[in-house]
Chains A and B, each alone.
Chain A
């Protein structure tokens, strides 16, 4: 609707179009490029690999989108992934876990998520109650979270074989990766949360104008804490998926640099860094783009370091288009 009525300052038609469908255009370009250049791109195998990897980015990016919608940012998502990922094998490999495999499995799924929830609570309280800037507040766990995970695992790589747990990362339903379904289900749920519930309305209002939201009786603190909690729990879930995919937990690498991917995906998907917008499906689109860029570079033998620069360029482009869209 905005695309029709908001005739802001003068822009050329191309930018107008770009700013509303930039993501889709970028996606089309990358797909075309790959079809032409990358060998074996149009194969089921490639698709499956990409989907199973994009799901984790998408899940975290959706949580990030909620946090960004409040005008915040969460740098600790990667660390939370490492933490929850480290906890799961510790639990099902423990004496208790081996004695009661079923209970151990449930605990291995639940407990890490609870730990992630506590992390989110921590972030949220520091931001919303102590009023520390989000970027600083979440830096605390960004640094210490992974440290804790490494201490818990003595810095070791934990390998395991637990087919039930690994289903989270390798299972398929109707030929489509389980985590892909999970991401879609979460997207639907969050979309409903943002667009149909009181929580969602407050979330957007707080990001759009915090003082106004507060004056209208909005529970600013609890809504902000809620956003950080959801983001952390989703990161925890993503951490479990990564561990399940690899049948191994590596606290040093799980979720490494995920904060960048997630922020990039959210921004490419249309989240405004100043808050007030929470495009959930946009985050998925953003995640797909980020994943495809990574894959494209990797498949064509480009170094990891260069891939990082490419990602930075994408963020830059997205933010630039966003600035142009403001007013």
Chain B
């Protein structure tokens, strides 16, 4: 069968730096095709070239049997390509409906937007994903996961021949991922092709037919998913030997020395509002405590309360034995706490600023010298971290928005490590980073903890929690309801603990 999409010999430079050197991609009709590669391999760039957001330097694109020269995402949409970009490009201040029907609003009398109809259509589209929300509320008032699902729902509703999803599951929990897979299978059975970018290799085996692997701006292989293995894919992505990788194991969080007895943080029955009503935990030196729970269980709110973002209404906290009640993040930072938030785009990066300026943002007060910023020290520090974390950037003054998603994440982690915190709160620290970098980041976290610091870890990846955490505090509807202690925690036990409270509540 003739392919729906055939891209070949694609080249792209950004100001002299090659992002794509020779990329190719073929997607068959009705196929779910995975595109994988390390952070910065060029996956998103290839997609943006396809949808006309970037112009290719060289190369050939055939779509639906014809040469394709799309020059804007709008044209791509009309040609039958619906895209969910990695960095969601929705409008948070606008209502959910407005975001979903944007560009294809139902009209009355040919010019007025028919809002009742728009809301209804939006509700219908969302209900396919099992989402029942107030579609007139601003999109930004919902969690990242909901926003992501809305973006997906929007794309899927567009009657496309090809739906592109750039890391769609990065902020979804397992039940939402299941829903998404259901929709992907439905698309497939109705003959729509799906191009699927993900760093979660396990997912690919569940829904994809074929996988294309990219490395350093080049396409290095294309396989039938049935003929390959996870290890094989990792080896191809990294350009290394499969056996060697197998010997190293898959997460780096595990192991480490035993936690100390000294309590660094003691949270007692803290409440901040309806989303966090009763949260208690203790954190020892040298320990990783995981917060487990489903979406909306209050994990992020718990982190926010410790960081002084939400003010506590009842309960108390003690930091190193002293009463602690931060009213601003800057107070928490001075008390040597860092908080890597889950929403990289909305709460993390300052897009116009350079890698350097982003990396040192939390550190500024201590970089002051004679009334100005000590640029020498800043540069030295930044280049240290770029090297230590293997951040892929052409130079430290490159605007951070030009970095690939995973590399932005590393810069943000570096932002907090640079403040030399005692306690790091990590909300989805490895979101969007490739398998190799994930292990690097996990190793950095492990190392940090082994130096006698402490980490509070929120992760929707159970593997990470189960292997990494000394203890897991299970949360449900704003309350800390139980605690699991390692060794002995298994993914099963965690799932059970979560489900138990879910059932008890319903």
Contacts and interface: CB of A to CB of B under 8 A. Distances in A.
B335 to A, nearest CB: 11
Interface string A265-295: 0000000000011000000000000000000
B72 A9 contact: yes
B105 interface: no
Interface string B356-377: 0100011011011001110100
Given A4-B16, A198-B367, A201-B364, A209 B402 contact: no
A73 B53 CA distance: 32
Contacts of B106: none
B399 A218 contact: no
Contact of B372 (A192, A217, A218): A192
A208 B351 contact: yes
A44 interface: no
A5 interface: yes
A253 interface: no
Interface string B412-453: 000100000000000000000000000000000000000000
A271 to B, nearest CB: 12
A198 B353 CA distance: 14
Contacts of A219: 330
A212 interface: yes
A156 interface: no
A276 B351 CA distance: 9
B402 A276 contact: no
A192 B307 CA distance: 32
Contact of A215 (B52, B341, B368, B399): B341
Given A5-B394, A202-B364, A209 B350 contact: yes
B30 interface: no
A6 B15 CA distance: 7
Contacts, number: 107
B365 A216 contact: no
A87 to B, nearest CB: 31
Interface string B47-59: 0000011110000
A213 B334 CA distance: 15
A17 interface: no
B248 interface: no
A208 B352 contact: yes
A10 interface: yes
A5 B372 CA distance: 28
A290 B17 CA distance: 39
A218 B332 CA distance: 12
B353 A216 contact: no
Interface in A175-232: 192, 196-198, 201-202, 204-205, 208-209, 211-219
B309 interface: yes
A7 B14 contact: yes
Interface string B365-399: 10110011101000000000000000000100111
Nearest to B343: A211
B362 A196 contact: no
Contact of A5 (B71, B346, B402): B402
A215 B353 contact: no
Contacts of B372: 192, 196-198
B100 interface: no
A277 B307 CA distance: 29
B352 A276 contact: yes
Given A9-B72, A205-B353, A217-B330, A211 B394 contact: no
Contacts of B368: 198
A9 B54 contact: yes
A324 to B, nearest CB: 13
Contacts of B373: 196-198, 201
A2 interface: yes
A1 interface: yes
A197 B364 CA distance: 9
A89 B348 CA distance: 51
Ranked nearest first, the 9 interchain pairs of A and B with the lowest CB-CB distance are A5-B15, A217-B330, A208-B350, A216-B362, A4-B15, A217-B333, A216-B361, A196-B372, A209-B350
21 contacts: A5-B14, A7-B55, A9-B55, A10-B55, A198-B364, A198-B365, A198-B367, A198-B373, A208-B350, A208-B351, A208-B353, A209-B349, A212-B346, A212-B350, A213-B350, A215-B341, A216-B329, A216-B361, A216-B362, A217-B329, A217-B365
